[in-house]
Amino acid sequence: MLKNVKHAVGKCIANAVLPNGLYCFNYHRIGEASLTEYDPNVFSCDEANFSEHMLYLKKNFTVVSIDDLSEILNGKIRDKRYALITFDDGYIDNYSKAFPILLENKIASTFFLATNFMNNAEIPWWDRIAYLVRHAQVDEVKLTNWSESIVLSKDNVSNSIRQVLDLVKVNNGSTIEEILIELEQKLQIPDTKLVDKEPLFMTWDMAREMSDAGMAFGSQTCSHRIMSHLSIEEQDHEAKASKELIEKELNTSIKAFAYPVGGKDSFTADTVKIIKKYYQISFSFISGINTSKNLDEFCIERISVDSNCNATQLSHKLLKLLLRKLHKSVWK
């Protein structure tokens, strides 16, 4: 009872003190994380909590589409508390589970696609790694360029997957392809054929249906490899080719890009120059609330929705982000 009261009070405080600005809520997968053979950490929340989030955002924010951003970023960012809903990667549950809830709530979300995965043509590298870790025949692993080994817990596979992926995302000179090969060897996987019980990613037909219903799309490259790990030529290809394919398949103009992984080390000044050639705006995965009129339109911060949080927990997360922002401004 006391816990419920505490949560309700926290939610009221958050809603009262949150500043005007652009809040970009970022989702990945919708569904039950415990049921996947791949990376459970990619799941944002289940359908019930996602539906609750949409009701909460409609009540406490002005929910906008990506087409509204030009006007908002051009001087109106402090007029209201704006909420933009985005999805990364293009998983099939974005279509089967999130899309109906978005339609029901009349919310136009933006979906960033990694085009190599469309039509389930390719299993992404992070899900391949998660599957390998799940089926490891050893208790710890250390790759050639790692400074330390990782103990693989059978009781907390999700944490083991997260630890391995955190090291993989560090640019240590190895390509994703090289890392996958070495992981298969070091983890002593008896059968490297990945399970394929059902499609992981949406099809172009699904994306077209969503586009026709008012959903927007952007690019997250072709392969979803980390841009800062690639050559200038590779980055340019990833940015240009993915945009061209999405525009061709959906018969629409694409103006937004989301950096794969999206942390501060996942893209460089050279990456931004390339993105500016093909897109009008781009989104990072750096956590924050966008309140400045001098906002960098090619590094828009987003709020990761994860851990199957409910609407109250989501409001608490926003309050923590605000407190962190205030703390930074005080100590500048």
Domain ranges of the chain: 19-122+200-330, 125-186
Beta-bridge partners for 287: 302
Q: Give the mean pLDDT of the chain.
A: 91
pLDDT at 277: 97
217: its two tokens:
């799309």
Alpha helices in the chain (DSSP H): 2-17, 47-60, 69-71, 92-93, 99-104, 125-134, 157-168, 176-186, 204-212, 232-250, 269-278, 311-330
Encode pLDDT of 173-204 as tens digits: 788 889 999 999 999 887 656 666 678 999 99
- How far apart CA 29 and CA 33 sit, in angstroms, is 9
- How far apart CA 119 and CA 205 sit, in angstroms, is 9
Of 6 and 254, the structure prediction assigns the larger pLDDT to 254
**pLDDT confidence band for 6 (50 / 70 / 90):** very low
pLDDT, average across residues 246-272: 96
Fold annotation for 19-122+200-330: TIM Barrel (3.20.20)
pLDDT at 129: 94
pLDDT at 3: 46
Please report, rounded to a whole number, the percentage of residues in the chain having pLDDT higher than 90.
77
